[in-house]
Chains A and B, each alone.
Chain A
Amino acid sequence: MLDDFMVRATLAGIGVAFAAAPLGCFVVWRRMAYFSDATAHAAMLGVALSLAMQISIVVGSVMVALAMAVTVNLLTWRGYAMDTVLGVLAHSALAFGLVAVSFLSGIRIDLMAYLFGDILAVSRVDLLVIWGGAALVVALIASRWSALLTSTLNEELAYASGLDPRREQLILTLSMAVTVAVAIKVVGVLLIAAMLIIPAAAARNLARTPEAMAMIAAAIGGVSVVAGLRAAYVFDAPAGPSIVCVAALLFAALGLVSWRNQRGT
């Protein structure tokens, strides 16, 4: 069954969608959309460095994304405004990445594959890495769900319950680094933020509790992967962007339905 590239692509996409769903909810709740962009840009630098040093791309991009996450946390604890820190780090990382790639004259690399993903070329090993990373992220977030949620609601409530909101933020940003790194193959650097944010934003229209929102986001992400891959096959369109297009259409449809319901009542 895993011999079929479409089956591997679907499984890979669903793996990413599952990890992205709960994480994407936190990105939306904490207004960290820019953060996921920044981590993705840092991952581009990771790709370039891994190619230069001939190490695994996933390993390289996880390392750089993790370094990025830790730096951002350290700088914000020292009092820098979050959007300034991200603006500086994200774009510098992308610029250094692109320059680094241009020096890699010896190796012919397909930049497009990293920018937009190459889900149809997912191998068995890739699949293992994606599901391993996704399982790690989902397990981490599930085990600290209440703590993460309390810290997201209010820093003081978290402290009063004996939690350290800075630690919870670190957990979220590290999870983001892992998710971004394993999602590069599936949707590419440019569209990772979309996989995080769009299903969660679409789920907001239907959910009454945080848990429901995460689960609905996972379902929407899964449907987007299956339908997007199918559409890419039928229309001979690029796979990663097609997945994001389906998610965006679902977002628009659900938004419209809830808007009409609100006007009706």
Chain B
Amino acid sequence: MNLVSIENLSVRYGANTVLRHVDLTVEPGEIVTIVGPNGSGKTSLLRAIIGATEPAEGQIKIKPGIRIGYAPQRLHFDSTLPITVERFMRLAERVRRQDCATALDAAGVPNLSQRQMSQLSVGQFQRVLLARALINRPEILLLDEATQGLDQPGSAAFYRQIETVRAETGCAVLMISHELHVVMSASDRVVCLNGHVCCEGTPAVVASAPEYRALFGTGTGGALALYRHDHDHDHEAAE
């Protein structure tokens, strides 16, 4: 059974239609990446899935009782709110201190638990967000530009970790990213969004689709080359 299945979804803010007739499914254990220019409705799509935005049309079916791990695009910690990393991680009900330490370890940021959230570096912050999204053993991870602000090696490491998590826990991943070449090597399926679904398929198929090229222009060839390069490289390294 699909974890998420979206049929004919439209989302409007007032008179402004930002998503039109979107169909999308996510199966268990799948890594699906959404790419698209700024303002193309990527965040709105994730918000509709978690119920933060009412669909104007269409329907969203979510597996009943599903555990969702969510890392929002923007998470601002107001300076008036003191909160340690550990407290933030344990906000969800019934999270044990032990699990919190394990999750931080796995996210590559051990020893941070007593630090204030507002004092973390960008990279540490994103990793804590991921650790928090993973802590309740989610069946699906929703990541909204989780690597923003990370450098190239940082985001490459981040996506490797997503793959590891998927391999270990079998959770599905639906993520939004701008880093086409890195993301592509980690995804099973890519959905190119621009108010509607322009094209969809395996990374290689999407990267060579004319709709995708029209949106991302000259960078496309490079992205595909990089995708192949990364792919070959991983393959060689494994041997």
CB-based contact B82/A207 at 8 Å: yes
Name the interface residues of B107-136: CB closer than 8 Å to any CB of A. Answer: 116
B218 in the interface (beta carbon within 8 A): no
Q: Mark B158-179, 1 if CB is under 8 A from A, else 0.
A: 0000000000000000000000
Q: Known interface pairs A146-B93, A149-B91, A159-B51. Does A154 touch B84 (Cβ–Cβ under 8 Å)?
A: no
The reply to whether B52 and A155 form a contact with Cβ atoms under 8 Å apart is yes
Chain B interface residue count, Cβ-Cβ cutoff 8 angstroms: 25
Say yes or no for B38: interface residue by CB 8 A criterion: no
Q: Is the CB of A213 within 8 A of B70?
A: no
A208 in contact with B75 (CB, 8 Å): no
Interface string of A199-218 (1 = CB under 8 A from B): 00100100111111100000
Q: A150–B87 Cα gap in the complex (Å)?
A: 11
> Is the CB of B56 closer than 8 A to any CB of chain A?
no
Chain A residues in 8 Å Cβ range of B82: 204, 207-210, 212-213
Closest to A211 in B: B87
For residue B72, CB closer than 8 A to chain A, the reply is yes
Q: Is A161 an interface residue (CB 8 A)?
A: yes
User: Does A254 sit at the interface, judged by CB under 8 A?
Assistant: no
Query: Are B70 and A156 closer than 8 Å at their CB atoms?
Result: yes
Interface hub of A31, A79, A150, A156 (most chain B Cβ within 10 A) = A156
**Size class of the A contact interface (CB-based, 8 Å):** 20 to 34
* CB-based contact A157/B75 at 8 Å: yes
Chain A residues positioned under 8 Å from B209 (CB to CB): none
A interface residue numbers (CB < 8 A to B): 28-29, 31, 79, 146, 149-150, 152-157, 159-161, 201, 204, 207-213
Q: Known: A146-B93, A149-B91, A208-B116. Is A157-B84 also a contact (CB below 8 A)?
A: no
Contact between A209 and B70, CB atoms less than 8 A apart: no
Contact A156 B47 (CB under 8 A): yes
Q: Say yes or no: A146 contacts B91, CB within 8 Å.
A: yes
Residues of A contacting B1 in the complex (Cβ-Cβ under 8 angstroms): none
A161 touches B92 (CB 8 A): yes
Q: Could you tell me the distance between the alpha carbons of A213 and B79 in the complex, rounded to whole angstroms?
A: 13
Top 9 nearest A-B pairs by Cβ distance? A160-B70, A159-B52, A159-B50, A156-B72, A160-B50, A29-B81, A207-B82, A209-B87, A160-B68
In Å, the complex CA distance between A176 and B135 comes to 33
B141 CB to closest chain A CB (Å) equals 10
- Decide: B93 and A156 in contact? CB cutoff 8 A: no
- Please, how many angstroms separate the alpha-carbon atoms of A28 and B78 in the complex? 10
A160 to B134, CA, bound (A): 13
How far is the CB of B222 from the nearest CB of chain A, in Å?
33
Given contacts A146-B93, A149-B91, 20 further A-B contacts (CB under 8 A): A28-B80, A29-B78, A29-B80, A146-B91, A146-B92, A150-B92, A153-B77, A153-B88, A154-B72, A154-B75, A156-B52, A156-B70, A157-B70, A159-B52, A160-B69, A161-B68, A204-B80, A208-B82, A209-B84, A210-B81
Tell me whether A160 and B142 are in contact in the complex, defined as CB-CB below 8 angstroms, given that A208-B84, A209-B84, A213-B82 are known contacts. Answer: yes
Determine how close the nearest CB of chain A comes to the CB of B225; give it in whole angstroms: 35
Listed A/B pairs (5) with beta-carbon separation below 8 Å: A31-B80, A146-B93, A155-B52, A208-B84, A210-B83
A29 to B67 alpha-carbon distance, docked (Å): 28
Q: Kindly identify, within residues 7 to 41 of chain B, every residue whose CB is under 8 Å from any CB belonging to chain A.
A: 14
* Cα distance, A211 to B87, chains bound together (Å): 10
Measured CA separation A244–B8 after assembly (Å) = 57
Contact partners of B77 in chain A: CB under 8 A: 153
